[in-house]
Amino acid sequence: MANLALRNPQFKSIAIPSSGVLSTVCTVTIDGTLRYTLVKNVQPSTTINFDIAELARDYIEITYQTNYIPQTVLIATVLTNKAGLNGTGANVGLDISSSDKGFEAYGVFTEGVNPVVPFGRSLPTYLIPINETTSPDTFTILAPNNQAGRLPSITSSSGLIATSFSASATSVTAEGVVCNIKRIDCTKYGEGNRIIYINKYGAQQDLWFFLKETRNLYRTNEGYKSNTITYPSGGATYSVQDAPNKVFNTQAKQTHTFSSGYYPEFANEQFEELLLSEFIWWSTFKKGSGIVIPLKVKTSSMAFKTSVNDRLIEYTIEFEEAFDYINNIR
């Protein structure tokens, strides 16, 4: 079973013989239910490809998960060569069948066609970026003092799991793989801001911003000019308290700008994956209660810093709340 990165094209292929085949049928079953039957008329002595990624990705329902276990779909595909056009006639040759697991993950251009999670790493491994290319892989995350958390991983024996660590832990171990936890004192600015995002591996990951947060409110509305003149018995008049320029459809968006504090250079990959993520949340407090709200990255570009060029590596990223400030959910 392959772990397909569904933000990339994922091709299923079958060879067409020199004679006897006029079409190919591809069935796509997702989580046990037949969802698609695809048909292509073919030419002899070729290879036919079906891209199933977008079809399967439509069935991944990404929501915030407190357990940090990646959300996936099971995908079964069957490719069958047919003797007639448009998927008709007898079956020819052997079917090509595959059973896979689909992730909200992506590979980059240099990782080639049909990328699979965890992108060439051996199992078990954490579903987060590594510090650097070493053998074995090494992992480090940064977290504030007195903050617990969870780390997603993938193993050959247990599959997808998430391992919790305590508020005082300086390391965590899953299936023998160690991740170091570097603790940061951010009490000057509160307890830090926890941003949770779906990373390259299709897993939830925390990225902490240790320094200040600034909030902005942006308002929009529409307007029109009304006639405020009245005609009492004494002649035309109007009230100076009645505005002729009326306002309606007032709405607002809130943005939050977070400063990361100083990070080691290997964390550049984490900030890159945050910028490219389509699912982001902020764990915050509203009226004294903890709440997780959805965000969008508003920052559209980032100049990556290095210890050689910049010495200290710090990023400032602007986020926009992924909902209107005045509730209009109907």
Domains and CATH numbers, the chain: 2-111 (2.60.40), 125-215+251-321 (no CATH)
Number of H helices, E strands in the chain: 3, 20
Q: Quick one: pLDDT band at residue 235, thresholds 50, 70, 90?
A: confident
Report the residue count for the chain.
330
Segment 117-160, tens digit of pLDDT: 999 999 999 999 998 766 678 999 999 999 999 999 999 888 99
pTM of the model: 0.91
> How is residue 230 annotated by DSSP?
B
Please write down the HEC assignment for all residues of 46-87: CEEEEECHHHHHCCCCCCCCCCCCCCEEEEEEEEEEECCHHH
DSSP 135: S
Residues 15, 95 contacting (CB under 8 angstroms): no
Amino acid at 97: S
Please answer whether residues 152 and 203 qualify as being in contact, where contact means their C-beta atoms are separated by less than 8 angstroms: yes
Cβ-contact 36, 28 below 8 angstroms: yes
DSSP state of 116: B
pLDDT digits over 55-101, tens only? Answer: 999 999 999 999 999 999 999 999 999 999 999 999 999 999 999 99
Confidence class for position 284, pLDDT limits 50, 70, 90: confident
Q: Show the DSSP H helices in 154-304 as ranges.
A: 268-276
